[in-house]
Structure 1
Amino acid sequence: MAEIDFEKIGLKVGLEIHQQLNTNKKLFCKCRPIESDEYTEKFSRRLRTAKSELGELDPAALFEKTKSKKISYYANSQSSCLVEKDDEPPHELDHDAKKISLLISSMLESKIFSEIHVMRKTVIDGSNTSGFQRTMLVSQGGNLKVNGKNVGVQAVCLEEDAAKLLKDEQNERNYSLDRLGIPLVEIALEPVSTKPSEVKEIALTLGRLLRATRMVKRGIGSIRQDVNISVMNSGVVEVKGVQQLDQLEKIIGYEAKRQHGLILIAEKLKKLSITITKEDVFDITEVFKDCESKIIQNALKSKAKIKAIRIRNFSGMFSFEPYSGIRLGKEIGQLVRFFGIGGVFHSDELPNYGINDSDVDRVKKHLELADGDGFLIIAGEDSKLDYAIDSIIKRIQDAANGVPAETRAVTQEGETVFLRPRPGASRMYPETDIPSISVIPEEVKLARDTADATKSWDESIAEIQQKYSLNSQLSEQIFDSVYMELFEKICENKKNSPNFVASILCSSITNLERKGFDCTLLKPEHIIESFELLASGKIPKESLEIIFENIMSGKSENVAIAMQNTDVSSMNEDELNGILDEIIQNNTELVKKLGENAVTTLMGIAMKQVRGKVSGQTVNVLLRKKISEL
């Protein structure tokens, strides 16, 4: 990645933190948020756009409608009811969620309103069965202290979480309802001119303030960051759903580079004065009927149309890279994918993909291109194709203005991809099913008193350190991790060493994750069960990581199967003595020659046989004893 001076390009970052509250019920009903893979019913919906009270259509909603996907919902009666299905009006606002939101507002010194109004926010990707999310503004203003500096708070909102995406296919999207309606606070911070590393520090500080209340959920997916990013005062891009702090720095760095790259592309385009009209769109289905490209032939077999867009003076502009991996061709490719269309070919990358020189010459002739002109080829169903072409033309026209304001999603590589246009102001309107909610002075006073009495992050760390005899680094790691509550539960069994438990939860699981294993497959109940087996002497310490790796790799769905698959069990002393005696017997020459120094080599041989059945320490002690006796 090329070095980039964030100050010079005027990087501005505004954080929005979404944190689930630990009320053990939903925001507008008494259902408990139990995650389960077993669903007792399924139903489907198709969402459509509706005009706001001002007669306007939201651009983000319009964009989603063009995909015309069927939305299927999977429900479990334990964690959802008619409210989540939008077959019954919402019940009364959960009092505990309101109380926690007032406490968080007080901790941020944010001005609490005496009346809260529930609003509907249009959401048409299917993640809400109703087509909107309920949200309410609780307070405005305030600040967060980060390393001696104040970061301004714009607002604190209380809202419903969305349904959990299970699968997203070309024509159908599947959600589960167990997460829909869980209360969460959204805290929007003022944009700051800063480096990506400092934004990570801000997010960490805010996360610690929330965790210090002991009233927020822990665990994967319980806290999410949205980041608003802009450079050189250009369009603001919202990046959705950053779940890990380690990702945050990388994503902001990438997005800053992408936006600055787009500004450099725009400067070049302005000199070319690009114009595209409907007359620059051609149907080239016949031109390509003899093309040998498998992609083109498959498109023709499925009765797709193939169209080309002519762009005068555009040669070389699709592939121009101000920074590595930042180019207009990639931007347009991402945009098109969201219409369920495989992709586009542009003139800078052809001949390629089975499209040869003669095919390119025929296209150039059909489009009447001059040497400096460029073109795009796109194939797809008629209904989707025209909207995709309009979007491409608009995107190329917008390219001359720099960075389009849009919403983007995070990739696993720490990059961002186009998700949808930015929503308009008309997406928010009043909720008609819920009366306004009063906040009485006594509630505000209670929230302020509780905020004053809440232990700070430093005090919480000191308490953990003292209670569990951990060092400061491990205390910090466990408090910041998603496993704090799990750690406390496991340590209730005095046979479990807090130091060992903390190190497994903070280091071993994280290391497995870094190796590419999926931590979402490892459920809290798997971890608790494994530590119970350890405490009762049924498995040695070494086997924990083996069990976790097997579950996180998807090979086993529970601890019992993982133990079976990895041959994890506890070995009795007689068995171990027999194995070690045999190893010594097979290596008597080595023992005679090296004496006690032979332990290292013999340990390696022994551990291959007993790994996961007995601890390395036990093997080492017993081997030394046997060798010294010899």
Structure 2
Amino acid sequence: MDYKALGLKTGLEIHIQLNTQRKLFCHCPPVLRDDEPHFRVERRLHISVSELGAVDPAVVWEVRKRRKYIYEGYRDTTCLVELDEEPPHLPDEEALVTAVAVAKMFNAKLFDEIYVMRKTVVDGSNVSGFQRTMLIAYGGRAKILGYDIGVETIALEEDAARKISEEGKAMVYRLDRLGIPLIEIATEPMAYTPQEVEEVAWIIGYSVKITGRAKRGVGTVRQDVNVSIAGGAKTEIKGVPDLSLIPKVIEYEAVRQVNLLKIAEELKRRGVGRVELSVADVTAAFANTKSRLVRKVLDSGGRVLALKTPGFQKLLGFEIQPGRRFGSELADYVRAWTELGGLLHSDELPGYGITAEEVREVANRLGVESFILLMGVEESELLEAAQVVVERLNMAPKGVPEETRAANPDGTTRFLRPRPGAARMYPETDLPPVKITFEIMKRAEEVAKINLDAKFKELISLGLSKDLALQLIKSPHLEKFEEYLDKFISVPPQLIASILLNISKALAREGVEIDGAKIESVLDALNRRVITKEAVEEILRNMRPGESAEEVARRLGLVRLPYEEVKKIVEEVSRQTAKEKIIGEVMRRYRGRVDIEDVKRALAEIAS
């Protein structure tokens, strides 16, 4: 796709859990637990208006679902703050120092005083119905590894409760994650390609991780991606689970918006205006159906309603993303609003066991060729689903609706809820403003010195190539590399990096299991000059459980020859071989047993 011609704009919101001793607004430890919870509390959330009398559309959406929320907690690691039965404590200072340090990394403008705000969230993930957040800085810009990254805002906020299960209209959350400090970095809109956006996301996340103040592991970093094209709309895609999925998510969202604009254009060409809510009970048309899908509903005492969709023939089945059609968008809305599993539409029928004759009978009863079938037991659910579908159909002639969507594992997306409005943020009345003191600034400046560009230059100064340095920074092995650098001072840094990254990876492809103990044993043998770097791969390949690198070298005959012996070998080979071929011949004859540096040294001494 020509993203420049499309006017593709992408923004990132990177959320990173901080590695602190306590939660952000209480003194509970920030630990996740899988043992049986000590208690369960049941709550329901309700709408409340802002100080200006407005109600956020995302709030209305969630409350209309009429859900019940069950919260699980532990007496020794969760407290009354998480249960919203006690006022919040003052923010954790270590988390605040980290947030200020990150602001400095991106040259963002800091606020003198930080105000804790309440951000309305009523999907159950926050017991109180809001998330506490603090805007730390704004308007940042930094050039890192060749990318010009503009940062709109940097915020420090509490993480949400952890969703455990969904039981009908009851959602079960665990309070262990609620309150863990979370830094949110939101970028300016970028015109980079999807692949470049992935790189930027990695740079932002790693800039925080490299300080050693971020949690590590699955689920500690979450990415949201905002995507729009010219003529489309800003769409927020929540919870992209992996950096490598970002390019596909952006590409597929751009495709979706292009295709929704095509549908809008076609509807205008057809003169389709507003779709009215017009449904008919067509259960009788399926009295003798062989469709298992329909039969299951009917046998449960359910009904089949048909909704007229005049002017939408061949558009309900129009593909908007790989494997997803416009009808899939409508089904997402039904699943989000109601307990129904989705819908069937006329563009995909006959199918699912529904015959052509049954389709004709439904069309005749409705008087239109284009329709949607809704099936269920509760009449109120069916009628609400029909209303939701009509609302979405009436957005179609306008093009792309502003939505919050969720990422699917294949990179496609599904509707989650409407985009929030401006009426969801208001001051936290239980906490005073927090001053950014000189002491906090001083500590933050020390943390900010540990940045990605500085680390990259440091690795190159050690003799690593730019590619190997970047590869090491991007890998999970950087901490081990630095540990081994201090421990095995006689081993060249580039060799340590190569063993961690390239040799281990090559052997893993062969099915050879390489762990830290094996690598340490090899590095120790190299450090003691027992083996050569040429023998490393063969020794790792043949290392048995519990066997040291030195033992393997003796078993395979790969013990490093002493320099005096190497010199004699070089003298002998030099009498029989052309000068330019001496090194190659020695290495060929004594592969893995002689070090090339010893060979070069011997040649230099002989020549002098």
Matching of residue 375 in structure 1 with residue 371 in structure 2:
yes
- Structure 1 position 412 matched with structure 2 position 409: yes
In the alignment, the residues of structure 2 paired with residue 427 and residue 113 of structure 1 have an alpha-carbon distance, to the nearest angstrom, of: 21
TM-score, scaled relative to structure 1: 0.75
Cα contact 2:47–2:63 (8 A) shared by 1? no
Partner of 2:365: 366
Q: Secondary structure at the match of 1:7?
A: helix
For the 8 Å contact 1:275–1:311, the answer to whether it is kept is no
Alpha-carbon distance in 1 for matches of 2:31, 2:503: 22
| Superposition deviation, residue 619 in structure 1 | 8.6
Does residue 1:301 correspond to 2:282, yes or no?
A: no
- Cα shift at 1:93: 1.0
| SS of the residue 1:408 aligns to | strand
Residue 37 in 1 paired to residue 34 in 2? yes
Gaps of 5+ in 2: 523-537, 559-608
Change (3 A) 1:479 1:279: closer
Q: Which moved more, 1:161-170 or 1:425-434?
A: 161-170
Q: Number of paired residues?
A: 533
CA-to-partner distance for each residue in 1:560-584, whole Å, 9 max, x for gaps?
xxxxxxxxxxxxxxxxxxxxxxxxx
Q: Which residue of 1 aligns with 2:148?
A: 150
2:307 and 2:400 map into 1 onto residues whose CA distance is 22
Q: Does the C-alpha gap of structure 1 residues 456 and 313 become closer, same or farther in structure 2, counting only changes over 3 Å?
A: closer
Give the equivalent residue in structure 2 for 1:460. 455
1:9 paired with 2:11, answer no
**1:327 match:** 325
Cα distance, 1:122 vs structure 2: 1.4
Q: Percent identity?
A: 39
1:387 counterpart = 2:381: no
Judged with a 3 Å threshold, the aligned counterparts in structure 2 of structure 1 residues 323 and 449 are, in CA distance, closer, same or farther, namely closer
Conserved? CA contact 2:165–2:171, under 8 Å: yes
User: SS where residue 72 of structure 2 aligns?
Assistant: strand
CA contact (8 A) 2:161 2:178 kept: yes
Q: 1:493 to 1:301 in 2, by over 3 A?
A: farther
Aligned residue among 209, 212, 218 for 1:211: 209
| 1:158 aligned partner, one-letter code | L
Q: Which residue of 1 aligns with 2:395?
A: 398
Q: Is the 8 A contact 1:18 1:225 kept in 2?
A: yes
Q: Which residue of the other structure, out of 10, 14, 25, is the alignment partner of 2:22?
A: 25
Q: Any gaps of 5 or more consecutive residues in structure 1?
A: 516-526, 538-599, 601-605, 626-630
Please give the secondary structure, in 2, of the residue aligned with 1:400: helix
Q: Distance in 2 between matches of 1:190 and 1:91?
A: 32
SS of residue in 2 equivalent to 1:192: coil
Q: Which residue of 1 aligns with 2:346?
A: 347
Q: Show the counterpart of 1:281.
A: 279
1:49 is aligned to: 46
User: Aligned partners of 1:289, 1:75: CA distance in 2, in Å?
Assistant: 50
The Cα shift of 1:12 comes to 0.6
Give 1:291 deviation, angstroms: 2.3
| Secondary structure class of the residue paired with 1:426 | coil
- Give the deviation of 1:292 after TM superposition: 2.3
Q: Tell me the residue number matched to 1:107.
A: 105
Aligned counterparts of 1:228 and 1:271: Cα–Cα separation in 2: 30
| Cα distance in 1 between the residues matched to 2:508 and 2:114 | 41
Deviation at 1:147, TM superposition (A): 5.0
Superposed, 1:41-440 pairs within 5 Å as: 41-53=38-50, 54-146=52-144, 148=146, 150-275=148-273, 277-321=275-319, 324-325=322-323, 327-338=325-336, 339-369=338-368, 373-380=369-376, 381-440=378-437
In structure 1, what residue type is equivalent to 2:236?
Answer: E
| Aligned AA (1:297) | R
Change (3 A) 1:144 1:487: same
Tell me, yes or no, if the aligned pair for 1:109 and 1:142 is still in contact at 8 Å.
yes
Q: Kindly indicate whether the alpha-carbon contact (under 8 Å) linking 1:332 and 1:395 is maintained by their aligned counterparts in 2.
A: yes
SS in 1 for 2:394: helix
Could you give the per-residue CA deviations for residues 384-429 of structure 1, whole angstroms, max 9, x where no partner exists? 3232222211111111111111111111112211111111211222
Cα deviation per residue 1:158-195 (whole Å; 9 max; x = unaligned)?
A: 10011222334543333222221111111111112231
> Equivalent residue for 2:578?
none
- 2:466 corresponds to 1:479: no
Q: 1:614 to 1:291 in 2, by over 3 A?
A: farther
Alignment partner, residue 572 of structure 1:
none
Amino acid at match of 2:474: D
Contact 2:144 2:452 in 1 (8 A): no
Relative to structure 1, the CA distance from residue 309 to residue 318 in structure 2 (aligned partners, 3 Å threshold; closer, same or farther) is same
